[in-house]
Amino acid sequence: MYRHALRCDAAASYGQLDAAYTAEFGTPLCITDSYRPFAAQVSAFARKPKLAAVPGTSNHGWALAVDLCGGINVSGSVQWAWMTANAARFGFVQPDWAAPGGEKPEPWHWEYGYIS
pLDDT, residue 114, reads: 62
Would the pLDDT of 109 be above 90? Answer: yes
Q: pLDDT tier at 2 (50, 70, 90 boundaries)?
A: low
Rounded Cα–Cα distance for residues 57 and 39 (Å)? 13
pTM: 0.90
User: pLDDT tens for residues 31-89?
Assistant: 999 999 999 899 999 999 888 889 999 889 999 999 999 999 999 999 999 999 999 99
Give the active site residue among 24, 103, 106, 111. Answer: 106
Residue 24 a catalytic site member: no
Distances (CA, A) of 41 to 44, 46, 81: 5, 8, 29
Q: How many C-beta atoms surround the C-beta of residue 60 within 10 A? A: 22
What is the rounded CA–CA span in Å between residue 45 and residue 24? Answer: 35
Q: Which residues pair with 68 in a beta bridge?
A: 31
Q: Judge whether residue 12 has pLDDT over 90.
A: yes
CA gap 46, 40 in Å, rounded = 10
Which domains, from first to last, does the chain contain?
Answer: 8-112 (3.30.1380.10)
44 compared with 14, residue with greater pLDDT: 14
pLDDT band (50, 70, 90) for residue 19? very high
* Tens digits of residue pLDDT in 80-107: 999 999 999 999 999 999 999 999 999 9
